[in-house]
């Protein structure tokens, strides 16, 4: 009868070791998962940083090309090449007085 009363069980040595081992494996798995997520995030950040540097370099190159293309020399060369235009010589240019501009029609011929 003494044994029938003793239904309350206490944790023995093997049970404590098993629970401790289970907790250790769970914590280790969580740490490994967290580190693998961190490594993946770091890899993504490095890739994006390299892409940002490449885009910044491309932007600087494009700005330089745009600045060069908008220069007077380049515009004149393109106008001559594409449109057959040329810069007028002194003989082809007339300067009108300020008041005479609206009174006389413009003459595109030579003087």
Residue 46 vs residue 94, higher pLDDT: 46
User: From CA 24, how far away is CA 30, in angstroms rounded?
Assistant: 10
Share of the chain above pLDDT 70, in %: 81
SS (H, E, C) 25-94: HHHHHHHHHHHHHHHHHHHHHHHHHHHHHHHHHHHHHHHHHHHHHCCHHHHHHHHHHHHCCCCCCHHHCC
pLDDT digits (tens, 9 = 90+) for 64-84: 999 999 998 888 888 888 898
Give yes or no for residue 9 having a pLDDT over 90: no
The whole-number average pLDDT for the span 18-30 is 97
């Amino acid at each position: 009868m003494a044994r029938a009363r003793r239904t309350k069980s206490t944790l023995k040595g093997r049970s404590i070791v098993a629970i401790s081992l289970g907790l250790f494996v769970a914590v280790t798995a969580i740490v490994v998962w967290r580190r693998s997520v961190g490594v993946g995030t770091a890899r993504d950040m490095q890739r994006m940083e390299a892409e940002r540097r490449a885009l910044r370099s491309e932007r600087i190159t494009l700005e330089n090309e745009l600045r060069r293309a908008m220069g007077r020399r380049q515009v004149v060369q393109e106008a001559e090449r594409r449109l057959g235009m040329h810069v007028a010589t002194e003989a082809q240019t007339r300067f009108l007085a300020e008041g005479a501009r609206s009174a006389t029609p413009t003459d595109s011929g030579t003087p």
